Amino acid sequence: METEPNGAEPVGIGSGRGDAGSDTDAANTSTQDSSISNGDEADDKQEMVELKIIWNKNKYDLKIPVDNTGAKLKESIHSLTGLPPAMQKVMYKGLLPEDKTLRDIKITNGAKIMVVGSTINDVLAVNTPKEVMQQEVKAEENKKEPLCRQKQHRKVLDKGKPDDIMPAIKGAKERLPTVPLSGMFNKSGGKVRLTFKLEQDQLWIGTKERTEKVPMGSIKNVVSEPIEGHEDYHMMAFQLGPTEASQYWVYWVPSQFVDAIKDTVLGKWQYF
């Protein structure tokens, strides 16, 4: 049998050993790839935040990446509570935005996240086809004459802007402040303040005489309109009963808080 120069083994035998080595390399490569795609290890490398989720008098501990969005948080809450994301009203210093990350809205370790949810039946009871039609008809009527020109509202608006009203920013949208909205007028011309008790899901309507604590779930609708000549302020009504006769009017609401008030009181899920 002839041998290769310098004692080299025949090519056939050498290629066999080379194949075994290739199998070993492939195994090592497979192990490395598995490690890279391991989701748990990927989460470990992310900055996490620990939250207290409070829903229906129950408390849940949740650890989640701080760069997750509000929408992702809703998915995690769904896993904890079984409450579908579309039925959740998630609050942290106002209604929590779905498109921003927890880092963006400055949620820190130990933060309490309030969750309010209702069943499909409750939503249908609030927005029946008949009630929706009535609201549309009323909206058409209001287009004919702005609310602020109607006699019942003029007697309040003609008193002028309150001296101690909160500053307004036209064209801006801000989250609810941590202090009550104060210095406004009610329909009788008396001073009124609005306090949003998110942990109790209540709106407190306070006057000099008393404070009425209204469950947000009982408020059927919220309407608003800019005040002519003072478009940085709105007049706003909270419908506390089944008909518009139960509307509670508040005048000189700073316009930057109008959307936040509607979202917090009604919850976006009611518009589906």
CATH class of residue range 48-125 = alpha beta
Secondary structure class of 228 (helix, strand, coil) = coil
Rounded to 5°, the CA angle 148-149-154 comes to: 75
Smallest Cα–Cα separation from 52: which of 65, 68, 63, 66?
63
DSSP character string of 12-29: HHHHHHHHHHHHHHHHHH
- pLDDT per residue rounded down to tens, the chain (272 residues): 444 445 444 444 444 444 444 454 544 444 444 333 334 445 557 889 999 999 888 899 999 999 999 999 999 998 888 888 888 889 988 888 999 999 998 998 999 999 987 645 555 555 555 555 566 666 655 556 678 888 889 999 999 999 999 999 988 999 988 899 999 999 999 999 999 998 888 999 999 999 999 999 899 999 999 999 999 999 999 999 888 889 999 999 999 999 999 999 987 543 33
Tokens of 5: 């120069």
Query: Measured on CA atoms in the order 157, 160, 163, 169, is the torsion positive or negative?
Result: positive
Smallest Cα–Cα separation from 257: which of 195, 185, 175, 201?
175
Smallest Cα–Cα separation from 122: which of 261, 43, 218?
218
The helix or strand, by DSSP H or E, that contains position 266, with its residue range, turns out to be helix 258-266
CA dihedral 104, 106, 110, 114 (to 10 degrees): -80
For CATH 2.30.29.30, the residue range(s) in the chain are: 147-266
Please state, in angstroms and rounded to a whole number, the distance separating the CA atoms of residues 195 and 21: 73
DSSP 8-state code for residue 74: H
**Which pLDDT score, from 0 to 100, does residue 30 have?**
41
Q: What is the largest CA-CA distance in the chain?
A: 118
Cα-based distances in Å from 185 to 102, 159, 191, 228: 36, 10, 5, 16
**Which pLDDT score, from 0 to 100, does residue 190 have?**
93
| CATH domain 147-266 topology | PH-domain like (2.30.29)
Cα-based distances in Å from 80 to 43, 73, 91, 94: 18, 11, 16, 22
Please state, in angstroms and rounded to a whole number, the distance separating the CA atoms of residues 118 and 88: 8
pTM of structure = 0.51
**Which pLDDT score, from 0 to 100, does residue 87 have?**
85
Tell me if 54 sits within 8 A of 198, measured CB to CB: no
What phi and psi, each to the nearest 5 degrees, are found at residue 155?
-65, -25
The strand pair at 111-117 and 221-227 is best described as unpaired
For CATH 3.10.20.90, the residue range(s) in the chain are: 48-125
**Which pLDDT score, from 0 to 100, does residue 204 have?**
96
The strand pair at 58-65 and 48-55 is best described as antiparallel
Q: If you search the block for the tokens 């005048």, which residue do you land on?
A: 251
